[in-house]
Structure 1
């Protein structure tokens, strides 16, 4: 079976969609799937010397010109499945990809069309687009042969919005960083890099910075903890912003300003973009990973899944609707604060101080929860969906 992934980002570009696409292709290979990647020409700016023949950076841009470019590729290469990895920001918020599936349906001998919605955030398209933005999301879902949602809430939303939904599958995301620290990793020595001793509370935040992830509440919480005499230290693991949405620079600047305002420069650290063994070592060195999402904890966040796979105690925020995420048991496998509540977040983090038993129980429960996101199983479910839609 030949599958082409249409994606706005791909390694070495930085981003969750890039990592997911590469990992999915890798785990589909043992099932007999030959994968290729169709992306924009700007990929060559990041990987000018890449010899990978499976990557085709031939899309001029994600405006209207992507339609004939994709159609031409499909006619030449004839994949069995065109799998769109959708996130609005990865396609420059333009909305043209949202109507691509409808356009491709008119092609003779077209491939089966599958879309993974990494989230349901709408594209900008143009000023005052209003309801047309949501309609463009529904158009993409309606004109594909199958839709993959990465969480139950998004699947429920699409089921209610579409009169005649196509095949709707819930297939979770996998981790973009499984435990693989350097061979000489020593936790105590690694913590010394950040001035963290036995009595310190080293907190990690993993992933890019944007307003939905609650960076400001995190800084406020660290400041509150230190005011209580707790040696709280914060480590930002990974790059600050990705290739897909550089507009997050403004929010990252606000967070940096807040760090300065509270005088936390000496206890807040940044790794910048580092390789996977370095990411793994930093997560394993932390006492907890804190991800205070403003829209509530969700399994659409691959960095959260990575923290679980590492067995990190996790402090996050309450989901909008707990019924859609029953695997999370507050106080048992995760600590949850109200979204947007810095004092509440600090209160939950403080529970970890002088409580090694709680940290141990949360760590063990995180590992158990992390087993739900096994890449071979994710690839198997995706392959089965391909087989259902292919004639």
Structure 2
């Protein structure tokens, strides 16, 4: 039995929720049962969420934490989950997936404190899955199992897809920068737009293509 702990989950809109739902579906197809603990049951991810986690955790099996700071209200309590589970559910193995640990500036030294909390989360987990190569490199010396994340976006062009015609319909030039994802504040779009202004000054025919929806549930 696998219990997923995710700050967002459908019908919430967000990449973490979509990833978790698709992973659960794939595991279900492999006859591996799972359940999910999300915001709908927890409400706010403060210290009380740790109590709910212990109540929901199986006596043995896996608890898989889908960590993204904004989805967990930018609170550090979630980083204590592996420690709490090791003490209360010793036969449970904890896996943590780090989706995006770099969030906007909050106050002086907040970044250092947050990274220490993430390190506690990662080091107290039995295995870590990471989306960012920098996180993988930082964690490999300290963890036995550090795994690159798999994609939840299937490569499935529509029927009759013609690349040249599709690009022409969107006015895509030979020099096009593409951004794929939700328009969340934590994604750094302001920096991308500033850089694109520099590119556009040098290459007036350049285009910026934004692929995705509006802000996800974690930014609302």
TM-score computed with the length of structure 1 as normaliser: 0.48
1:70 lines up with 2:53 in the alignment: yes
Distance 1:128 1:81, change over 3 A: same
1:155 lines up with 2:136 in the alignment: yes
Residue of structure 2 equivalent to 1:27: 26
Alignment of 1:238-277 (within 5 A): 238-246=212-220
1:225 lines up with 2:203 in the alignment: yes
What is the SS of the residue equivalent to 1:214?
Answer: helix
Alignment of 1:1-391 (within 5 A): 2-41=1-40, 58-74=41-57, 78=59, 80-108=61-89, 111-121=92-102, 131-159=112-140, 165-169=142-146, 171-195=147-171, 200-201=173-174, 203=176, 204-209=178-183, 210-211=187-188, 214-226=192-204, 230=205, 232-246=206-220
Distance 1:92 1:143, change over 3 A: same
Q: CA RMSD in A?
A: 3.1
Which protein has greater RCO, CA pairs closer than 8 Å, 6+ apart? 2
Distance 1:87 1:107, change over 3 A: same
TM-score computed with the length of structure 2 as normaliser: 0.79
Task: For residue 128 of structure 1, report the CA deviation from its aligned partner.
Answer: 5.8
Given that residues 89 and 123 in structure 1 are in contact (C-alpha distance below 8 angstroms), is that contact kept between their aligned partners in structure 2?
Answer: no
Given that residues 9 and 17 in structure 1 are in contact (C-alpha distance below 8 angstroms), is that contact kept between their aligned partners in structure 2?
Answer: yes
Given that residues 5 and 66 in structure 2 are in contact (C-alpha distance below 8 angstroms), is that contact kept between their aligned partners in structure 1?
Answer: yes
In the comparison of the two structures, how many residue pairs are matched?
215
Task: For residue 145 of structure 1, report the CA deviation from its aligned partner.
Answer: 2.1
Listed as ranges, the gaps of 5+ residues in structure 1 are: 42-57, 247-391
Task: For residue 27 of structure 1, report the CA deviation from its aligned partner.
Answer: 2.8
Distance 1:144 1:208, change over 3 A: same
Q: Provide, for residues 202-245 of structure 1, a one-character-per-residue CA deviation record: whole Å limited to 9, x for no partner.
A: 7232223432762321244235322xxx3x44321112432223
Residue of structure 2 equivalent to 1:341: none
Residue of structure 2 equivalent to 1:371: none
CA distance in 1, matches of 2:130, 2:7: 18
Listed as ranges, the gaps of 5+ residues in structure 2 are: none
Given that residues 124 and 133 in structure 1 are in contact (C-alpha distance below 8 angstroms), is that contact kept between their aligned partners in structure 2?
Answer: no
Task: For residue 19 of structure 1, report the CA deviation from its aligned partner.
Answer: 2.7
Task: For residue 20 of structure 1, report the CA deviation from its aligned partner.
Answer: 2.2
Given that residues 93 and 126 in structure 2 are in contact (C-alpha distance below 8 angstroms), is that contact kept between their aligned partners in structure 1?
Answer: yes
Given that residues 113 and 146 in structure 1 are in contact (C-alpha distance below 8 angstroms), is that contact kept between their aligned partners in structure 2?
Answer: yes
Q: Provide, for residues 65-94 of structure 1, a one-character-per-residue CA deviation record: whole Å limited to 9, x for no partner.
A: 2111111212xx546100111122221211
